[in-house]
Structure formats: C-alpha cells, structure tokens
Amino acid sequence: MINIEDQEALLKLVAEYLDEDIECVAIGGTAMMFEGYKTATKDIDLVFSSLEDRNIFIKAIEKLGYSQKSLKLVYDLKRLQKKNVPLLYSRGDERFDLFVKDVFGFDIDFKKFIQKHEYIGRKELIIYTVNKELLILLKAITNREKDYEDIETILSKEKNVDWGNIVDEAILRRNKISWILIDLEEKMLQLKKKTLIKKEYFDRIYKAEAKAK
C-alpha cells in the first residue's frame, strides 16, 4: 500500500530520474487519491500517450529498483486476451500498472482532465486525472480485486454522479470492448442496492447491447 504523501514523494523522485519530459493520465486508486476519495492505494495506474513515454518512465523506475511482474495474478483471462495489456512493475508493496493509450480498449482522452499534477525534477512528469464518472467506468471495466469497493467509496462521498454520462461513454465503446456493457450492468445492479440508479439507465444499456448483438 502507498499513501498520499509517499505517492507524491515517489513521483517527485521518479521525475528526477526521467530522461525526457513525459505526460500521463492517472486512473484507478491513484486518481482517487489525487481527488481525495481515499488515502491509500495498492497500485499506481498510469496511462501514457505513447510507447516511447512509457519506456522513458520504465527506465526511470527500473533505476529505482522496480522490476517487471506477471499480469496473470492481477487481471482475468478476458482482459489478458486484449492486444494492449499493461505492464506491471513492483518493488516491495508498491506497484505500477502502466498502460499505453487505452485501458483494455477504452481510449483515454488526454484533453478531458480535471486536475493537472506537475512534478518538476531533473525532467518534468505531468499527471492528469479524469472526472469521477470516467473513474467509475474504468473501475467497472478493470474489474480487479477491490475495484468494486472503490466505486462504492466514490459513491459514498459523491452525491452527484452523472450515470447518464457513464452509460453513454460505455455505449460509445461497445463495439471496441464487447464486454463493457455487461460488466457495467453487473456493477450497476450491485450498486443499485446501495444507491439510487434510475431504471432508464439500465434500459439504455439493454437497448444498446441488443442493438450491438
């Protein structure tokens, strides 16, 4: 586990070891910590805009003693069959999940961000964070241990979640990620017991899924 202060210090240290300035988007627990939803996370999930940027980042963390780990214990087979799988690097308790351009087929837009965190060291590391709706959707599709708990945490702290936006974003990506609507619906059904989600959002999912089939 890594807490907010450790994460800030670690990213500042990584910036000291970079060979070039790079930008990435934080998703998952890291973004949740940046946005104040939680105070500690198991892994630091970052999405880079290019393979080159990810390689520059990997080179820096390797200098800090991080080594590559297998994906098999973290992600299920459905996700591992995707073309663009992340690379996992860990050192002790801390782990980086490093994606390029998309998260299991879910494109990340580098222009839609709500926070910008700049770490100015020898080079510059810029980390953007996405809005809460996208965070929830990404949590629903990464489907790792604790991802569902994280969605619950966001919902317990945020009363104004735009479910229409979440469903629309998922429908947009249905052709690229065949299981996205099924996973989202499964999560929404679980969440319905704890929070109010209007029936119309479920109907929109069912309609889009039927149309796609």
Partner 1 sequence: MVVKKFTVDSFAEQKGITRQSALNLLSRLKKRNLVNVSGGGRQPRIYTLYTLPKKKTNGFYDLINTYAPDKLQPKFEHYVNGRYTVERAIIDGIIIGDSRTLDATMHLFRHVTDWKRLFDMAEKKNLKPEVIELYNKARLVIKSKKMPERYLR
Judged by beta carbon, residue 17 or residue 75, the one nearer partner 1 is 17
d(CA 61, CA 14): 6
Q: Which of 46, 44, 43, 26 is nearest to 116 (CA)?
A: 26
Tokens found for residue 194: 């704890």
Question: Shortest distance, CB of residue 36 to partner 1, whole angstroms?
Answer: 4
State yes or no: residue 121 binds partner 1 (CB under 8 A): yes
State yes or no: residue 192 binds partner 1 (CB under 8 A): no
State yes or no: residue 37 binds partner 1 (CB under 8 A): yes
Question: Shortest distance, CB of residue 119 to partner 1, whole angstroms?
Answer: 5
3-state secondary structure of 58: helix
Q: Which of 14, 15, 61, 184 binds partner 1 (CB under 8 A)?
A: 15
**172 φ/ψ angles, rounded to the nearest 5 degrees:** -55, -30
State yes or no: residue 36 binds partner 1 (CB under 8 A): yes
State yes or no: residue 117 binds partner 1 (CB under 8 A): yes
Q: Which of 40, 114, 189, 212 binds partner 1 (CB under 8 A)?
A: 114
Tokens found for residue 72: 């098999």
DSSP alpha helix (H) spans, 35-101 = 51-63, 77-80
